[in-house]
Amino acid sequence: MILYKVENPKPSLLSNRVVTIDPGESVTLCVTVQNNGEEIIYRDTYGVGIEVVYPKEGAKYWKLPAERLMVIDMGPGGKSSYTFNAWNRKEKPFTGNFKIHAYIRSIQTDNKLARSGNVTVVLKPPQ
């Protein structure tokens, strides 16, 4: 299971999954991975990351952080937390909505085992 919280900027009062930023600003997501069963075991290596899922070509408008390796034992009930900053590329102007989510990926098989819900980032028009 992947839990997340938008740390910066503060989310909308109407939804904790929507933030609004100006071009060139960043979004900080705190991601907590919790193993509720046997999905994440010690025999494999796992990575945690964030990605832009909407629009399809949306990643080119962002400087996304590198995926992080999970370096702790994630036996049943195990928990691990990560913080990611995604920076909007001011040099590539775009106005509209992006959707970003977190994921857990098996390094050996490249399969994504879990995904979080989406965070909607509304990018204001350039001033």
Domain extents in the chain:
2-123
Hey, is 33 helix, strand or coil?
strand
At which residue do the structure tokens 């509304």 appear? 122
Q: Tell me, what's the pLDDT at 6?
A: 93
- pLDDT value at 124 more than 60: yes
pTM of the model: 0.85
Cis peptide preceding 55, ω within 30 of 0:
yes
Mean pLDDT of the chain: 87
As to burial, measured by CB atoms within 10 angstroms (0-12 exposed, 13-18 middle, 19+ buried), residue 73 is: exposed
For residues 81 and 71, what is the distance between their CA atoms, to the nearest angstrom? 11
**Rounded Cα gap, residues 56 and 38, in angstroms:** 32
The model's pLDDT over 6-38, given as tens digits with 9 standing for 90+, comes to 999 998 888 889 999 999 999 999 999 887 766
Q: What six digits make up the tokens of 39?
A: 């999905």
Number of other CB atoms surrounding residue 126 within 10 Å: 11
3-state secondary structure of 58: helix
Q: How far is CA 104 from CA 2, 73, 115, in A?
A: 8, 15, 7
Of 28-32, 107-111, 115-119, the range with the lowest mean pLDDT is 107-111
Does domain 2-123 fall under CATH 1.10.1040.10? My reply is no
